[in-house]
Amino acid sequence: MNCIHIVGNRPQFIKLALLHQAISLHTPFQQKILHTGQHYDKTMSDVFFNELKIPAPDYQLKINRLPHHTQIGRMTEKIGNILATEKNSGVIIYGDTNTSLAGALAAKKNHLPIAHVEAGIRTGDERMPEESNRYLTDRLSDINFCPTTLCKKNLEEEGVPDSKIAVTGDIMLDAWKHAWERIYNGAVLEKVPPHHYVVATIHREENNESPARLQSIVEALNEIRKTIPVIMPCHPKTKKKIKELGIKIHFQLQGPCSYLQMVRLLDHAAYVITDSGGFCREAFFSGKPSLVIMDRPFWPEIIEQQQCLQTAATRQAILDNFQLLQKVPIKYDETIFGQGDAAKRMATILAQEWSQ
């Protein structure tokens, strides 16, 4: 039996690094990596493969810069053709991107077993491209690895049978702990940031594709920066939009960070402002209060803990909620996302399920 990991986006590379290693240690499977090319910039892809010591992809499709439907269609076709030659394989899918859905469709049509890492997340916002990717990928998968018990409950409510669900904890917690070990053990980082600032990231379509929302977010960050420095490691797409719209920035805008740099940047930060589901979880692991700019955030688990507040994308709402964020008492239940051993649990389950 072989395993084929299908990845294409920055957060998927981070999860792949951990699960690839755990499968090497805890299963007899041979592994291959298929990279769709959805993220292709050096800073969005190569940096992660190098820093996290991920083997080079066996297949590289270079499919990017396309509308969602075309991207999913083209990826499904190309992945399907490859999987047709990989008959004795299980397929591992990560998260909720176009790469995830295309990989799941292509695997299903080739009658290959599918495991989905980060299953069961729901926002209820059908306009988000990721929401249909999540729902459909979960439905197509034979094993749904849920990061939390709420994710399991979401799947149960949709009628997914128990036999297809495993709560493993969040593999991002494994990744974050692993990164910390490397930093403590002296991993060399190019730039060590100063202390006490807001670290902000914006990349989600609902914020990027709306000039009014993007303008409001930047204006709010410009205002916040008058009282505390703001650093934004910027997705290339967001940078392009800001430039196109001629929006004036008065805070520190820089290129994307590597994973270790990001963990370090977070450690020295006082607060996080983001629309990333991964980064607000990492803020939680680091004990940093975060403000999430999304109409319907996908981690109610963290919002319940009050370590994360949700805000609308208007200038005033962001400023008001940022004030509030500085006052809320923090409750912190460390167990929500498991013990940081999700990758090992997943590998153990795969060894049982796929060896039969």
Q: Residue numbers of the site for ligand UD1 (CB under 6 A)?
A: 9-11, 38-41, 44, 65, 96-98, 129-130, 203, 236-237
Strand order in the sheet with 271-274: 252-254, 230-233, 198-201, 271-274, 290-293, 308-311
CB of 69 to ligand UD1, least distance (A): 11
CB of 55 to ligand UD1, least distance (A): 20
Nearer to ligand UD1, 11 or 193 (CB): 11
Q: 230 in helix, strand or coil? A: strand
Q: Rounded to whole angstroms, how far apart are CA atoms 215 and 313?
A: 9
CB of 148 to ligand UD1, least distance (A): 18
Nearer to ligand UD1, 13 or 251 (CB): 13
Nearer to ligand UD1, 235 or 288 (CB): 235
CB of 185 to ligand UD1, least distance (A): 28
Q: Rounded to whole angstroms, how far apart are CA atoms 140 and 198?
A: 39
Nearer to ligand UD1, 237 or 296 (CB): 237
Contact, 178 vs 347, CB < 8 A? no
Helix-helix angle 315-325:211-224, to 10 degrees: 40
CB of 2 to ligand UD1, least distance (A): 25
Q: Rounded to whole angstroms, how far apart are CA atoms 300 and 296?
A: 9
Q: Rounded to whole angstroms, how far apart are CA atoms 127 and 151?
A: 20
Contact, 346 vs 171, CB < 8 A? yes
CB of 32 to ligand UD1, least distance (A): 22
Q: Rounded to whole angstroms, how far apart are CA atoms 35 and 55?
A: 11
Query: What would you measure as the largest C-alpha separation in the chain, in angstroms?
Result: 61
Nearer to ligand UD1, 241 or 264 (CB): 241
E strand or H helix that includes residue 244: helix 236-245
CB of 277 to ligand UD1, least distance (A): 7
Nearer to ligand UD1, 96 or 170 (CB): 96
Nearer to ligand UD1, 97 or 321 (CB): 97
Q: Rounded to whole angstroms, how far apart are CA atoms 188 and 261?
A: 10
Provide the CA 70 distance to its chain's centre, in angstroms.
22
Contact, 40 vs 70, CB < 8 A? no
Nearer to ligand UD1, 113 or 297 (CB): 297
CB of 43 to ligand UD1, least distance (A): 7
